[in-house]
Amino acid sequence: MNRRSFLKRCSLTAAIAAICGYPLLVERYLFQVNRYQIPVAGLPPEFEGFTIVHLTDLHYGFLMPMVVIRHLIHQANALKKDVIVCTGDYVHEHNRTEQIDRVWPELSKLQAVHGVYSVLGNHDHWADSSRSLDWLHRSGQDVRHQAVSISRGAARLWIGGAGDFWEDDPGIDRAFKTVPPGETKILLAHNPDTIDTAYHTRLNLVISGHTHGGQVILPFWGPPILPVINKRYASGVVATEKTMLFISRGLGWAILPVRLNCLPEIAVLRLSRQLLTVDESCAPNTAQHIGATSRPSNTGRKLIRPF
């Protein structure tokens, strides 16, 4: 082999390694803080600008080490917010109670002025349902099948939780059974398909994860794999007939440890009584790589209504 052929082969090998290595080793760790403005119909004026930090799908385990989990929890605590909400899949592997026992003491360090509220996802049940439910309860963050209120003046906002769509009873009506009909209700539901189950409660906003945004988003195609029935529920803000829905791209991985064109995110949701543009609602208002500077990304003009 002459020198030119050798260099050519080296360049080709390096290019293939970079193409394969980026989704596996780079993008999965490019965590962003993405800010979204969420239009909420009927939001009391007292809650204009109420800010929710949303963590979901951490998937602690293989290729998601504890040092990363601690970093993400530190970042969430450092953000300005009123509450933190978590929507499940805190661990990755099946039948691994030790991972549950390791991750929950860290999750229990999350702090916000008006509290931290959490539900479980399918992976938490696959790891061990009773252990996960026990830790959820012990953490003081449990809103599964129940709701808590936050007051500002005479106004109240309720945050309630659903059981996982695949592995538990959603129990939406049960969660809000004591809440007066006209009050603002936010549901935490791991899987966004939960909103298409049968219930009577009028929800103002649902916050979900589960999809990871598809993890891989192909240009002109979108995500090839989405683990939901309704393929509209990929990521971002979706105005459904029943409620406004937010789906985070989450932080971890499932099926394959890759991400491409689908950066992991901590979402910061700012509630608003105002309508937004389509682009504003589907894309984050600002995206900030953790530890880097922010970049704006709003351009749309077409108005949408919450529901």
The residue count for binding Fe ion (CB under 5 A) is: 2
CA distances 54 to 40, 75, 79, 84, 207, Å, are 16, 12, 11, 6, 8
User: Interface with Fe ion includes 57 (CB under 5 A)?
Assistant: yes
Q: Which stretch binds Fe ion (CB under 5 A): 39-47, 53-61, 97-105, 131-139?
A: 53-61
Rounded CA separation 29/278 (Å) = 28
Which residues in 71-90 contact Fe ion (CB under 5 A)?
Answer: 89
Q: Which is nearer to Fe ion, 54 or 174 (CB)?
A: 54
Q: What are the DSSP E strand ranges found in the chain?
A: 32-39, 51-55, 83-87, 116-119, 147-152, 155-161, 184-188, 205-208, 236-239, 244-247, 265-272, 276-277, 286-289, 294-296, 303-304
Q: Which is nearer to Fe ion, 82 or 89 (CB)?
A: 89
Rounded CA separation 94/59 (Å) = 11
CB-CB contact of 218 with 8 (8 Å): no
Q: How far is the CB of 211 from Fe ion (least distance, A)?
A: 8
Q: Which is nearer to Fe ion, 27 or 89 (CB)?
A: 89
Q: For residue 268, which phi and psi values (nearest 5 degrees)? A: -115, 115
User: Interface with Fe ion includes 124 (CB under 5 A)?
Assistant: no
User: Interface with Fe ion includes 27 (CB under 5 A)?
Assistant: no
Comparing every residue's Cβ against Fe ion, the nearest one is 89
Of the candidates 145, 90, 146, which has an alpha carbon nearest to the alpha carbon of residue 123? 90
Q: Which stretch binds Fe ion (CB under 5 A): 1-9, 49-57, 228-236, 278-286?
A: 49-57
Q: Which is nearer to Fe ion, 250 or 306 (CB)?
A: 250
Q: Which is nearer to Fe ion, 89 or 193 (CB)?
A: 89
Q: Which residues bind Fe ion (CB under 5 A)?
A: 57, 89
